[in-house]
Amino acid sequence: MELNHCGGAATMPGDVDEGRRKFVKKVTVATLALGVGGVALQTGRFLNPNVLYEPARAFKVGELASFPIGSRIVIEGRGVEIVREREGMHAVSLVCTHLGCLVKPVENNPDVGYACPCHGSTFALKGEVLGGPAPKDLPWYEMYMDHTGAIVVDTSKVNRERTKLVV
């Protein structure tokens, strides 16, 4: 055995190389493990995406008998009011076209149908802007009667012609 000047065992050049080799091997294995782990994590996220599920935009609001002629019925949680008149029925959005507050139906006022509590916009019974900062009329949504006789409102489709559902 070779001794160094302090009397301890001297390190041979081959021992240093072996130590370096082990160190480089450990770093390589750790790097590969991190890489494989990262790929596995991304694959898992791809297969299980972080998705927010929204409620269906087409939904049943009830049977025809639930909407007598002359009624105005707010569908809670949907931001829609169903209005049935002698000529037919329509679904009007209750989301203010200014900044999105829910407007309140105004009862017993032939001139004003809806009022927004946030900044004071008012709308006629058919949704036309009467006053306030709202830039557009309240839209109407498409609606139809399905094969079971239920009335369905589809908030993904605006009824631009404002045609009533004749039932």
- If DSSP codes are grouped into helix, strand and coil, which group holds residue 155? strand
Does residue 131 interact with ligand FES by CB under 6 A?
no
- Minimum distance from CB of 81 to ligand FES (Å)? 15
**How far is it, in rounded angstroms, from Cα 90 to Cα 76?**
16
> In the β-sheet with 114-115, what is the strand arrangement from edge to edge?
104-105, 114-115, 122-123, 129-131
Does residue 121 interact with ligand FES by CB under 6 A?
yes
Q: How many CB atoms lie within 10 A of CB 164?
A: 16
Query: Which one, 64 or 106, has the nearer CB to ligand FES?
Result: 106
Does residue 101 interact with ligand FES by CB under 6 A?
yes
Does residue 151 interact with ligand FES by CB under 6 A?
no
Q: Which of 73, 75, 106, 133 binds ligand FES (CB under 6 A)?
A: 133
- Minimum distance from CB of 115 to ligand FES (Å)? 9
Amino acid identity at 152 = V
22's CB contacts (< 8 A; 6+ apart) are none
Q: Give phi and psi for 87, each to the nearest 5.
A: -80, -15
Does residue 132 interact with ligand FES by CB under 6 A?
yes
- Minimum distance from CB of 111 to ligand FES (Å)? 18
Q: Which of 99, 109, 144, 149 binds ligand FES (CB under 6 A)?
A: 99
Residue of 121, 8, 164, 159 lying closest to 113 (CA atoms): 121
Does residue 134 interact with ligand FES by CB under 6 A?
yes
Q: How many residues does the chain have?
A: 167
Does residue 139 interact with ligand FES by CB under 6 A?
no
Does residue 136 interact with ligand FES by CB under 6 A?
no
Q: Are 148 and 137 in contact (CB under 8 A)?
A: no
160's CB contacts (< 8 A; 6+ apart) are none
Number of residues that bind ligand FES (CB under 6 A): 12
Query: Which residues lie near ligand FES (CB under 6 A)?
Result: 96, 98-99, 101, 116, 118-121, 132-134
